[in-house]
Structure 1
């Protein structure tokens, strides 16, 4: 049994904590507020997790928490999509400093932005070719961390996912949850702010992120490279909406997409829409993650698509009870 520090108490941080506890480890789970309302491990392992408040950009504070930990899992989610330029650099610097000072391995929860605009399924060894500032921020974080690993200063890995879905996601972190599932459960057609409804897209189930993070954090064989989180075959918005309606027993509704010109115009006055311009290519053409290498290496498989959707639908209905009675 080893001890681990998980930074960030959103869906990924909680899933990672649950998976580590299930493997017999203990965890310090740190968030900005120090408040975690959903604690799925509490019923069976109430003493395995300590919850604390910390600023993940405070190098001294993170280093102090990391003493004695086998790993640091950076599952931080900056509070605003529009302020990555100022939010991410101090967190990246603090976690690297804490890992180097404590000897803990650093597991970075990453994404696919660094690959830029792609024309084929993405693999872990594909080069970083970001086409926007958010992609450059994430690519630079990984490049610096890997360089320190190669110099022998730290042990690092990055786990890359596509867009999240699943129980426990925080608001505005899941297109599939917030835009598709919630709309259908409420009896409304989903309205997607960018992209095409018929473009294949990979969707990563949050508990699968946690399982891989726990496996790598507690092991000796995942360091020094990036891994793709096991992810089910890609589904278009249209296909996903059809599947949700079938499994939820609600009326099937056509997915609507905001015209590109309107999205561009909205970006002139709405900061979030302006930031979406950088990543809308991910929804306008096939955006597919290949996770076969990770699956073979760690003998892990993605949660079956229908099973993951059923669990997500049930969770969304529970968190907003009024939806439970929505008729087809």
Structure 2
């Protein structure tokens, strides 16, 4: 499908990351002009593997002037960016969304697109999330994500925005994820699976489906509210074992499963760093939380949905995790 408005132009902040790159690629396939901000455009272009490359612009998403200049002439700004290496995340995230807001205003009211998270909600007490669900997370990460959304809501209608909330990402092109960094080892055949799930009901978002959803929504500006907050249901692991069984099916044999060492993370959390970050999200692996996508379905007719076994197989292939036996088992 090609976008009827071939002059439509989007700026991607975070195009070298999984979700930003996937949204940019989906828009390019639909006929959009896509610009992407990067500190090193040559390196970003060399690493691009998502089809036709965007127009790379030298700049830093932490610099307001750079973002404003890059956003000139755009109707959409995809804010899918984080500080380099996630360093000083808690101090830099809000100024960065401020830069995107300034750029959107300077561009005459470009719509800001934000991939949302479940961290805005209190796990254990919130079982279903829709656009009206109170955001009451107590974690540092959740409080910052909630403030980001508040700033976008406050800016509307002068600056329209779209937040599409999803579960944990997996899929080709995304390596910073629970699937790629914990459950399996990129570049190595699957010999064991590390399972972070403590209970049932975990939500997963297959990246190509999510990016396609973003692209379809972006092409319907007249149907979106000035401040639109939607939920992407994705794959709900109702038993807590469906993702494991999908990996086993892709590999073609029974694979041993180990539990993620949450106990060790809790012991190390007081020292900060990765363990502290991980412990903050532990409740979301313990308590089920369903994303209500009824508003999304009314807008699109249906939510793009690749069967779980197919999605996992494509993800493992892209990560280089299927040895010859696993690949042949799928072709048989």
The alpha carbon displacement at 1:57 in A equals: 1.8
Q: Distance in 1 between matches of 2:262 and 2:30?
A: 47
Cα distance in 1 for residues equivalent to 2:82 and 2:172: 16
Which one of 55, 61, 65 corresponds to residue 60 of structure 1?
65
- Spell out, residue by residue over 1:199-256, the C-alpha distance to the aligned partner (whole angstroms, 9 max, x if none): 2200001112211222233331224121112412335553211211112214322232
CA distance in 1: counterparts of 2:310 and 2:192, whole angstroms: 23
Instruction: Tell me if structure 2 keeps the 8 A contact 1:250–1:326.
Output: no
Q: Select 2:19's aligned residue among 12, 33, 42.
A: 12
> Structure 2 unaligned runs (5+)?
1-5
| Partner-residue secondary structure (3-state), 1:114 | coil
Structure 1 match to 2:275: 273
Q: In 2 relative to 1, CA 29–39 (structure 1 residues): closer, same or farther, beyond 3 Å?
A: farther
What TM-score comes out, normalization by structure 1 length? 0.87
1:123 is aligned, of 122, 130, 152, to 130
- Count of aligned residue pairs for this structure pair: 312
Residues 148, 243 of structure 1: alpha-carbon distance in 2 compared, 3 angstrom cutoff = same
Q: What residue in structure 1 maps to residue 3 of structure 2?
A: none
Match of 2:90 among 82, 85, 91: 85
Note the C-alpha offset of 1:183. Answer: 7.8
Larger displacement relative to structure 2 (265-274 or 102-111): 265-274
Give, in angstroms, the shift of residue 282 of structure 1.
0.2
Asked if residue 294 in structure 1 is aligned to residue 296 in structure 2, the reply is yes
Q: CA contact under 8 A between 1:73 and 1:217: conserved in structure 2?
A: no
After TM superposition, the score normalised by the length of structure 2 is 0.86
The answer to whether the aligner puts 1:203 opposite 2:204 as a matched pair is yes
- Residues 84/236 of structure 1: CA separation in 2 closer, same or farther (3 Å cut): farther
Return the alpha-carbon distance in structure 2 between the equivalents of residues 184 and 59 of structure 1: 38
Which residue, out of 24, 42, 49, partners 1:39?
A: 49
1:326 deviates by 6.4
Task: Check conservation: 2:269, 2:276, Cα contact below 8 A.
Answer: yes
Is residue 81–residue 272 contact of structure 1 (8 Å, CA) maintained in 2?
no
Superposition deviation, residue 20 in structure 1: 0.8
Q: Deviations over 1:284-327 (max 9, x none)?
A: 1213323232123212322222221121121112xx6xx52467
8 Å Cα contact 2:209-2:306 kept in structure 1? yes
